[in-house]
Structure 1
Amino acid sequence: MKPSNRTNDTSLRRPVIVAASAAVAVIGSFIGSGAAGGTEIQKASGGALAADATLLAPYGSAFSIWSVIYLGLIAYAVWQFLPQQRRQLRHQRLGYHVAASLLLNAAWILSIQFDQLWLSVPIIVVLLLVLFWIFALLRKNRSTSAVDAVVTDGSLGLYLGWVCVATGANIAAWTVSMGWSGFGISGTLWALGALVVIVIIGLLLAVFGKGRLAPAASIAWGLSWLAVARISGELESGAVAVAALIGAALVVLVTITLRLRAMR
């Protein structure tokens, strides 16, 4: 007999915590956008995360993806609150991890707002690890409807993919702000190496996720805008721009191929 994906647990504690964490994250996003007396992320911490600050910084327009991600996370917070969804085993397993990711997101914004760039690095690394675990849970606990696939897998997948790119940019910003010499290796080579790591992660997500589109879409989005910044910004690098575009195309191509294969 196939195990049931539903339980009799209708407790409100978990969905309330997820919803409250989503509210905290959204408030943090307003502060990070420059509203409510906050400083725009790209201008905070001395401009360390600006498009021309490092070779791994994407063009400013890339950050508009946060609007889509936050809308998706809000939708998820509402979706998992519904009585029928509260009984779903996947939401019971996901809930507290999603809440943790949302609180880490808010903590990251606060660290940047208070010019604690060094603190933002371990926060975003832990956030990325939590999102990797969420991805594993999504893979193990399949969606039971098209709506759930879009709201849950889609939103959290976009979130994961973007944080993969953002983590590289964040670490680069911190090392540059510290005046790190890179052991004498050029910044371009370090940037290319970081891009290779991001692309490998994107490919692994495609393989283990059997062609999940959302993570690939946000990784490709981030890498594409990174390329734009290296072509049209003050900190130009043709090598980094080309590598970013090739990486984005490779992640998308492999993901779509695996997706089509899984649908056969």
Structure 2
Amino acid sequence: MNTKGISILNFITFALVLTVNALANILPINGLTTGEVSDNYINLFTPAGFTFSIWGLIYTLLGIFVVYQLVLSFRNENSKFIEDIGYWFIISNILNSLWIYTWHNLMISINLVIMILLLVSLIMVYQRLDIGHSRDDKKIKMLVHVPFSIYLGWISVATIANFSAFFVSLNWNGFGLSETFWTVLVISVAILLGIIFTIKNKDIFYTLVVLWAFVGILSKRLSADISYTTIITIVVVGIGLLSLLVVYEIFKKNIYLHS
């Protein structure tokens, strides 16, 4: 399929995502809002409710990307990035819509599989755009690369949260290890991902999303009736470490927008 065809499908499937997400909370699907379903699977990794407002930013940036790629394809201007992405954004949109449907219908096992596939589809977009190493001009990096950096960052965090919800649904005992232990472990993994993406790909946008998630987790734990000293400590360490790294990279102009 040519770039015009792909760009049109990108637009249509993204419109589907927006529609399904809107209906999910307006109807709502299965009589439950997205947040109400989340409340059924309480775990220590789940951030405060305000954290999920990042979806507004993600959909705004993706909307700009969708319009931009549609305009370029019909003007027959440089739209190589559309070919690079191929069908992966279309696939991610379909998976996003299916995720909402299965989440609201409490199909947690299927929902986790869909989330993993969504993560894989965004990794494919990220790799095919060669984010962090591409020689694309600054405009394309801002309008194409940044939206997918932020989207992938949030879905990386959301996948961890999805695993946590899945294990809660199974009443998993954590192999006898405490929930605090597993939460500290996955937070450490998120910190490591932030470090890797920042250093290897000069991608502070991915890392800023991880930081935002940490702020949400910290807020949630600080407002709890029970003290979670260990989790709060590792989150604060993560926020401090990643913040310093991001500030350093900005100061050195070592981010992919400048490369």
User: Which TM-score bucket, shorter chain as reference?
Assistant: 0.7 to 0.9
Q: What TM-score do the two structures reach when normalised by structure 1?
A: 0.86
Tell me, which stretches of 5 or more residues in structure 2 are unaligned?
A: none
Within 5 A, what are the aligned runs for 1:221-232?
221-232=212-223
Contact 2:6–2:82, Cα closer than 8 Å, also in 1: no
What residue number does 1:18 align with? Answer: 10
Tell me, which stretches of 5 or more residues in structure 1 are unaligned?
A: 1-8
Contact 1:85–1:91, Cα closer than 8 Å, also in 2: no
Q: What TM-score do the two structures reach when normalised by structure 2?
A: 0.87
Per the TM alignment, residue 255 of structure 1 is displaced from its structure 2 partner at its CA by 3.5
Within 5 A, what are the aligned runs for 1:9-48?
11-32=3-24, 34-38=25-29, 39-44=32-37, 47-48=39-40
Q: CA RMSD in A?
A: 2.2
Instruction: Give the distance between the partners of 1:110 and 1:252, measured in 2 at CA.
Output: 36
User: Relative to structure 1, is the Cα distance of residues 235 and 124 closer, same or farther in structure 2, using a 3 angstrom cutoff?
Assistant: farther
Q: Which has more helix, going by share of residues? A: 2
* Post-superposition CA distance 1:19-40 (Å, at most 9, x none): 11111111122133x1133332
Instruction: Give the distance between the partners of 2:102 and 2:224, measured in 1 at CA.
Output: 26
Quick check: 126-135 or 85-94, which moved more?
85-94
Instruction: Give the distance between the partners of 1:59 and 1:72, measured in 2 at CA.
Output: 23
Within 5 A, what are the aligned runs for 1:172-187?
172-187=164-179
User: Relative to structure 1, is the Cα distance of residues 10 and 173 closer, same or farther in structure 2, using a 3 angstrom cutoff?
Assistant: closer
Picking from 205, 211, 229, the partner of 1:214 is 205
Per the TM alignment, residue 261 of structure 1 is displaced from its structure 2 partner at its CA by 5.5
Picking from 47, 56, 61, the partner of 2:50 is 61
What residue number does 1:204 align with? Answer: 196
Q: How many percent identity over aligned positions?
A: 22
Contact 2:102–2:111, Cα closer than 8 Å, also in 1: yes
Per the TM alignment, residue 87 of structure 1 is displaced from its structure 2 partner at its CA by 3.6
1:98 aligns with 2:89: yes
Count of aligned positions: 249
Contact 2:92–2:121, Cα closer than 8 Å, also in 1: yes
Picking from 54, 61, 69, the partner of 1:80 is 69
Contact 1:18–1:99, Cα closer than 8 Å, also in 2: yes
